[in-house]
Chains A and B, each alone.
Chain A
Amino acid sequence: MEEQPDRWLEVERGPIVRPYALTRGRTEPEGEAFHLISVVQARVEPGAVSRAEPEHHLLLTLCQRPVSVVDLASDARLPLGVTRVLLGDLRHRGMIITRPAAARNDGAVDIHIIREVLNGLRAL
């Protein structure tokens, strides 16, 4: 049985603590929204965050390489909304950078990326 990373979660039931206790009641991140598949990446080592902030530390550890917001929430086993608030904190401190997904401002996606995905699917 795993212990430490899962102590606030049960596999079936989700968090044991009320999720927004981890965010001190905040439900929205500071600044721009984090889309589901926006990419985040750490600009600093995990040690830049004190272990007194274990969830921030965990997220920073898990985004040393570029990772999408949903993968990060899944990896961290933190609820999506909580993950976004904590990422907002890290961004506010300049500890992560965010890149948008392939979508442009109007929500459309460049056609050459669609073709690449199509070719990749055909090769699956």
Chain B
Amino acid sequence: MGSEPSDTARLTTTKIVIAGGFGVGKTTMVGSVSEIRPLFTEEPLTERSVGVDDLALVDRKTTTTVAMDFGRITIRDDLVLYLFGTPGQDRFWFMWDEMTYGALGAVVLADTRRLTTCFPAIDYFEERGVPFLVAVNCFPDTGSHDPADIAIALDLNPGVPVLLCDVRRRDSTREVFVRLLEHVIAESPQALNGAHHETG
């Protein structure tokens, strides 16, 4: 045990998940604030609905390799924030649990022309108690929108922030993440310090 590398070499890693329908701008959002890095991952070809035990041996080797990206922001030499965009297609649901585990929070990126495409992501984060906000990507041809109307249309719980953004712009994207982390801190049981504790 005495040969462990020194603590000066410590690296702290964190992540934020970005979810939303296919083509809503997740990759653009990640690219506007971070270094994009390519990653190959393996996609099971078998249906996830098949019993897990059945997949344990033979079928799990039946994979195809798919390319995906992730973003990397070096906050400090020893502190990194990763941005993972959830794959838009349904067949990639198997990646969601892994991406979400240990995430600081999540951004649900919405397109007002196709609001329903972000319902699955909202359900997913609500069910798992992952703090999130909804960022509405304002495409040039979508006109103006009132975040309050969108919150109603999405049937969001009170307190879930909704903000408008332009994911092509670095400052706008950064503001989304800043607002998310402010929300995460405000909602954190550690911040509430036991003053208010919900059991349900």
Contacts and interface: CB of A to CB of B under 8 A. Distances in A.
Contacts of B9: 41, 65-66
B106 interface: no
Given A111-B188, A114-B184, A117-B79, A124 B174 contact: yes
A102 B67 CA distance: 26
A80 B178 contact: no
A101 B104 contact: no
B40 A73 contact: yes
B126 interface: no
A102 B63 contact: no
B61 A25 contact: yes
B11 A39 contact: yes
B104 A117 contact: yes
Contacts of A15: 40, 65
Contact of A79 (B11, B33, B42, B79): B42
Given A43-B3, A80-B42, A107-B101, A70 B185 contact: no
B26 interface: no
Given A80-B39, A80-B42, A116 B101 contact: no
A45 to B, nearest CB: 13
Nearest to B181: A118
Given A19-B65, A71-B72, A78 B15 contact: no
Instruction: Tell me the interface secondary structure of chain A in the complex.
Output: mixed
Interface residues of A, number: 48
Contact of A81 (B41, B184, B185): B41
A54 interface: no
A20 B63 CA distance: 9
Interface in B179-193: 181-182, 184-185, 188, 190-191
B168 to A, nearest CB: 16
Interface stretch (B80-88, B136-144, B158-166): B80-88
A102 B3 contact: no
Interface of A: 9, 12, 14-15, 19-20, 25, 27, 35-39, 41, 43, 65-68, 70-71, 73-74, 77-82, 97, 99, 101-103, 107, 109-111, 113-118, 120-122, 124
Given A9-B40, A27-B63, 14 more contacts: A19-B63, A66-B5, A66-B9, A68-B13, A71-B37, A80-B39, A81-B42, A81-B63, A102-B14, A117-B14, A117-B81, A118-B178, A120-B73, A120-B76
5 contacts: A73-B39, A81-B41, A97-B4, A116-B75, A121-B178
